[in-house]
Amino acid sequence: MADVTPRPFIRIRPDGTGGLGRWGELWEYRDVLVMLAVRDVKLRYKQTALGVVWVVLQPLVAGIIFAVIFGRFAGLPSGGRPYLLFVFAGLLAWNLFAGVLQRAGNSLVGEAKLITKVYFPRLLIPGAAAAAALVDYAVSLGVMAVLMAWFGLWPGWWLALLPVMTLLTLALAVGLSLWVSALNVRYRDFMYALPFLIQVWMYASPVVYGLEMIPERWRGIFALNPLVGIIEGNRAALLGGGTEVWPLLTVPALAAAVALWSGAAYFRRVERDFADNL
Amino acid sequence: MSDPVIRCENLGKSYVLHHDGDRPGYRTLREDLLSLPSRLQAAWRNHGTGEEFWALRKVSFEVRPGEVIGIIGRNGAGKSTLLKILSRITAPSAGGVDLHGRVGSLLEVGTGFHPELTGRENIFLSGAMLGMRRAEVRAHFDAIVAFAEVEQFLDTPCKHYSSGMYTRLGFAVAAHLRTDILLVDEVLAVGDASFQQRCLGKMAEVAGGGRTVLFVSHNLGAIGSLCPRTLWLDHGELHQDGPSREVIERYLADVAGQAGTATTAAAPAGPAWLVSARLAERNGTARQAFSMTEPVRVECEYQVAQAGGYTLSVQVKEFDFSPVVHCTSGDAGFAVPGTTGRHRIAVEVPDMQLYPGRYWLRLALTQTATGRQHDLDRIGFQIEQDFTLCTRPLPRQAGLVYRRAEWTVLSPPSP
């Protein structure tokens, strides 16, 4: 008896070989990624009373406060660029990174009901959360464009670096959030440590201040934080940069590769236990 | 013969029970870090950290294409665990399964629904979760909407839906899944009777469509009529696998183990508990069968540890445990003796005129002030037909309560 349509063959084994680990499945279930991301975006803009306004206002207000305190009162250097733009360019990259980490990191625990009731590749859950965070980034990018026009500053050919920076930021954030989301399932107290870690990380990165603030001899060590290269690279892309930006990108590129590879490997190893642990 | 579409071999699933009563696998990073030395030591000495519990053990069976199989068993027998392994939600601990074909599972109604989203949005979301492509959902969209009867509310957020509408929509999406293998958990226990009937109809349609279906239910009637073959799981093991009629009869005989009586083995902690109950005549003779026109009489003995106000209730249930009649001592204005010590009470449920068949009785003793309850459940008994009431045999599937109606001839309609 010949089948008309080819039937997939699925092997279910205790060690998770077969069904639970095929990469091709991610493509098969791509609709889930899209639907989940669309849902997240819709909910974000439906539920908050101010909707889009909130997403615009949040980084803008933060940027203005930082600009006033660090740029005006403390008089920190910004390489001759308006401090608001300087800070906002840093916040843009930082918010994408932190947004993905936070949303994707908590995504599995948030979808406990789904995970225990239906099967699809679990990678799609943090993936969709990251995609939704990307929408906020796009909105912020629009705000940045308006701000730059306001200050009469036009991006140069450095702008071509922006997509590269965005991808790099995303890769690093997704890689780390694969770790975080999986650890969150296993260790529930991890959820409380995450906001603190993110906060500390922000002040250890040149978001509200510039790299010039760091004494020359410490910069080498400081740049081991991949966010240094990411934020400086983002600033260079939007506001124009110097030639010293390129070496800074080695660390983020390496970090992103390691995070993505190890995160995916760890995630795949533990995902089959998610339903039992949630 | 064609090859099996599902081959389960020695399938097992174990959970590690932590002694502190934690949920399996749920822990904190702090604990893990602090207990690292002792766990290393335990691993060194080859000691486990918890007790193993096998939710499923050595389950083997094969399913041929197009077979419709029922899965029955008591709560906790491993039915849902089996479906979860087959649908790849959780991984087995031992053995394995080979599946040939696309698998769709319906383990709850409204998988992936979000209350803030509209009906339309939820149809696409849920469809995607269940494994339908967007185009597939679009192709079945009208049929889904029609089945769920929610046309006017398609663009209303689902949080404004009645629970009936929500359930209908959830089932409608899943019912239009076109997978080779369909796994369905107890989903018919929700919704009103007419909707349940429609769901069963849909299930029958699916079952007749040449697809392979595994169907878990407590509704033995539905299993009997939909599935030619039934698996009976008991304490995680495959107890019996065979023609549904045979398996269900054996299963019923087993759950009805102590017909007519029930006792509490060990005194439970609590203000009061039921010690024993039995169906009996007024002269004390034990009974297991009653005529449909005769009252069902129960005698029970209970122990009060904490004096106070108590309420007794009696519930009559169908063979599939759906409730039929419920009486409380409070409604009857009867004061249940609540002084410390042992008491005996007899309750008579007046003639219910139930259709002949097997029924269950449940007794519950509740402390009025706190609501703390102890019960004796599944006291089985038989209702027999009273041929003086009705001479034709009363088929159980026709009804539950026998009544004679008033019939009147009206004048013919004017042309």
Distance CA B280, CA B285 (A): 5
Q: How far is B53 from chain A (nearest CA, A)?
A: 13
Q: How do residues A240-272 score in pLDDT, each as one tens digit?
A: 877 677 788 889 999 999 999 999 989 988 888
CB B119 within 8 A of CB B150: yes
User: Tens-of-pLDDT digits for all 415 residues of chain B?
Assistant: 578 899 999 999 988 765 544 444 456 667 777 776 666 665 555 444 566 788 899 999 999 988 999 999 887 788 989 999 998 888 898 898 998 888 888 888 778 888 888 899 899 988 888 888 888 899 999 999 988 888 888 898 888 888 888 888 888 888 888 888 888 887 665 666 677 777 778 877 877 777 888 989 877 777 888 888 999 998 889 999 999 888 887 887 776 555 677 777 777 888 999 999 989 888 878 888 888 888 999 999 999 999 999 999 999 988 777 889 999 999 999 999 999 999 999 999 988 999 988 888 999 999 999 989 999 888 888 888 888 888 888 877 788 899 989 999 999 888 7
Residue A23 — φ and ψ, nearest 5°? Answer: -70, -30
Q: Residue type at A85?
A: L
Prediction pTM value: 0.72
The span from the CA of B220 to the CA of B226, in Å, is 10
Amino acid B401 reads V
CB contact under 8 A, B91 and A39: no
User: Angle at CA B70, nearest 5°, toward B322 and B63?
Assistant: 170
B306 and B271 Cβ atoms separated by less than 8 Å: yes
Q: Taking Cα atoms as reference points, which of B272, B333, B260 lies closest to residue B301?
A: B272
> Does the distance separating the beta carbons of A1 and B128 come in below 8 Å?
no
**Residues of B with Cβ-Cβ distance to A36 under 8 angstroms:** 125
Domain boundaries in chain A?
25-271
Given 3.40.50.1980, 3.40.50.2000, 3.40.50.300, 3.40.640.10, which CATH number is that of B6-10+55-255? 3.40.50.300
Q: Strands B289-291 and B373-384: what pairing?
A: parallel
Question: What DSSP state is assigned to residue A15?
Answer: T
If one counts every other C-beta atom within 10 angstroms of the C-beta of residue A132, the result is 23
Distance CA A195, CA B183 (A): 40
Which helix (H) or strand (E) is A190 found in, with range?
Answer: helix A190-203
Cα–Cα distance measured from residue B246 to residue B249, given in angstroms and rounded to the nearest whole number: 5
Do A120 and B86 count as a contact with CB atoms less than 8 A apart?
Answer: no
A207 at B interface, C-beta within 8 A: no
Which residues of chain B does CATH 3.40.50.300 include? 6-10+55-255
- Are A140 and A55 in contact by the 8 Å Cβ rule? The answer is yes
Signed CA dihedral, B278, B282, B283, B286: sign only: negative
Contact assessment for residue B301 and residue B274, using Cβ atoms and an 8 Å cutoff: yes
Per-residue burial over A220-255, b if 16 or more Cβ lie within 10 Å, else e, is eeebebbbbbbbbbbbbbbbbbeeebeebbebbbeb
Name the strand (E) or helix (H) holding A257: helix A250-270
| CA proximity to A123, closest of A278, A6, A272, A276 | A272
C-alpha distances out from residue B222 to B219, B229, B281, B341, Å: 5, 12, 34, 45
**B321 in reach of chain A (CB within 8 A):** no
Contact A187 B105 (CB under 8 A): no
Q: Is B3 on the interface with A (CB under 8 A)?
A: no
Query: What band does A220 get if pLDDT is binned at 50, 70 and 90?
Result: confident
Closest CA to B316 of B358, B285, B257: B358
Specify the CATH number of the domain B261-395.
2.70.50.60
B116 interface with A at CB cutoff 8 Å: yes
| DSSP states of B333-359 | TPPBP-SSEEEEEEEEEPP--BPSEEE
Note the ipTM here. 0.81
Q: Does A212 touch chain B (CB under 8 A)?
A: no
Place of tokens 């093991």: B237
As annotated, the residues of chain B forming the CATH 2.70.50.60 domain(s) are 261-395
